[in-house]
């Protein structure tokens, strides 16, 4: 799986409350958040959700954590399930957390709990990049260029905004913005007069209405 997605998911998981409801044996006792489609979700589309194993007549509200947007509310039926709740996804691609309100202990049967689910909205892309220089010697005032391609599966990510952060020995030197061409390729000059040292660049496909932000760090380029 894409490393960037894993990192993002892990970050969100760690940022969400670590409290876990204390539910007894057997397995599957805790309230659950079930989805009909958990992947291939597009920005501005809909996600269908059922919240299960909650006491009858309790109210459950769904929302996107930290980003506002659509919400959906349902009342739990005698079956312990809400009806199918439909909630619109954010209009920009990204990894979001779908969350419920805090379900009280009297409704959950255990500790009070807010259910959360990390959901990727939009497509992921693979960014390939490298740094090149007109000369390896600082004395010759070299120009450093970041170039590469961006694809999602077999499709080139064309005319998309990218950001290149040039780093020297790990510290940011400068940030440059640009875009891919019609074939998903890019070539950006990231400047000169940068001094001797080991340079890398973090090339990021900016999140848009189709693609989740993805990035890659280039191999080091040494200037003497």
Partner 1 sequence: MLLTKNKRNAIALGAVALVLFVVYAIVRIALMVVSLQNTMGEVEKLQTAAHNKDLATLSAGLGKASDAISAADSSASDPVVQLFSYLPIIGADINVAAVVSSDGRLVLQAAQEVTSVANQLGKAGIGKEVLTNTALVSSMRDGMSSMNKAVQKLNVDLSGIDPTSLHFGLNEKIAAAKTAVSSLANASARITPLVQIGTIVLEQPEKKRWFISIQNLAELRGTGGITGAYAIITSNHGKLKLEEYGSDKKLLAMGRINFNSYPEELRDVWGVDLADWRDINASAHAPYAAKLLADGWQQHRGEKVDGVLFIGQGVVSELSGAVGPVTVRGNTIDLKNVVSFLSKDIYAKFTDVKVKDAVVGELASQMFKRLLDGKVNAGGFLSAAAEDATGDRIMAWSQDEKTQQEFISYSVAGVVSDQFGPNVQVTLNNAGGNKLDAYTTLKADYLLGVCNTDTFTGYQGRRSRVTVDLTNGAPKSGLPAYVDVRLDDWFGEARPKGSNRELVTVYGPVGSESEKITVNGEDEFVMTGIDRNRPVWIFDLQMLPGETKKLVLDLIEPINDDNLELISGKPTLTGPVMLNEPSLSTSSTGGCSLK
Count Cβ atoms below 10 Å from residue 49 Cβ, excluding itself. Answer: 24
d(CA 53, CA 30): 7
- DSSP tag of 139: G
Looking at the Cβ atoms of 27 and 182, the one nearer to partner 1 is: 27
Closest to 116 (Cα-Cα) out of 62, 70, 74, 59: 62
Confirm if 172 and 128 have CB atoms less than 8 A apart.
no
CA distance 113 to 136: 58
CB of 141 to partner 1, least distance (A): 36
Residues with Cβ within 8 Å of 183's Cβ and at least 6 positions away in sequence, in order, are 149, 156, 158
Name which of residues 151 to 170 contact partner 1 (CB under 8 A).
151-155
For residue 106, state whether it binds partner 1 (rule: CB under 8 A). Answer: no
Looking at 78, 139, 171, 195, which residue binds partner 1 (CB under 8 A)?
A: 78
Looking at residue 117, the DSSP 8-state letter turns out to be: E
163, 175, 165, 166: which is closest to 195 by C-alpha? Answer: 166
- Does residue 104 belong to the site contacting partner 1 (CB under 8 A)? no
- Of 58-66, 77-85, 129-137, 196-204, the window that binds partner 1 (rule: CB under 8 A) is 77-85
Taking the least distance from each CB to partner 1, the nearer of 26 and 182 is 26
Number of residues that bind partner 1 (CB under 8 A): 58
Instruction: Name the minimum Å distance from CB 222 to partner 1.
Output: 24
Q: Quick check: 165 and 200 in contact, CB under 8 A?
A: no
Binders of partner 1 in range 16-55 (CB under 8 A): 18, 20-41, 48-50, 52-53
The contact mask relative to partner 1 for 180-199 (x = CB under 8 A, - = no) is: --------------------
For partner 1, the binding residues (CB under 8 A) are 1-3, 5-6, 9-10, 13-14, 18, 20-41, 48-50, 52-53, 56, 78-81, 84, 109, 115, 117, 120, 122-126, 151-155, 214
């Amino acid at each position: 799986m894409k490393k960037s997605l894993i990192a993002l998911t892990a970050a969100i998981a760690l940022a969400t409350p670590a409290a876990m409801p204390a539910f007894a044996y057997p397995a599957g006792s805790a309230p659950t958040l079930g989805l009909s489609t958990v992947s291939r979700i597009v920005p501005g589309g809909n996600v269908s959700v059922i919240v299960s194993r909650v006491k009858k007549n309790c109210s459950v509200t769904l929302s996107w954590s930290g980003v506002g947007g659509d919400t959906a509310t349902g009342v739990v039926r005698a079956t312990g399930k809400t009806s199918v709740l439909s909630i619109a996804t954010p209009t920009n691609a990204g990894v979001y957390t779908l969350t419920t309100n805090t379900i009280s202990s009297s409704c959950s049967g255990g500790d009070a709990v807010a259910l959360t689910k990390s959901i990727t909205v939009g497509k992921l892309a693979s960014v390939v990049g490298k740094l090149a220089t007109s000369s390896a010697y600082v004395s010759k005032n070299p120009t450093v260029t970041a170039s590469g391609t961006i694809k999602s599966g077999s499709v080139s990510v064309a005319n998309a905004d990218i950001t290149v952060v040039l780093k020297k020995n790990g510290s940011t030197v400068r940030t440059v913005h640009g875009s891919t061409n019609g074939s998903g390729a890019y070539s950006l000059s990231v400047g000169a007069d940068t001094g001797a040292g080991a340079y890398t660049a973090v090339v990021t496909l900016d999140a848009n209405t189709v693609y989740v932000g993805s990035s890659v760090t280039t191999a080091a380029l040494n200037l003497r």
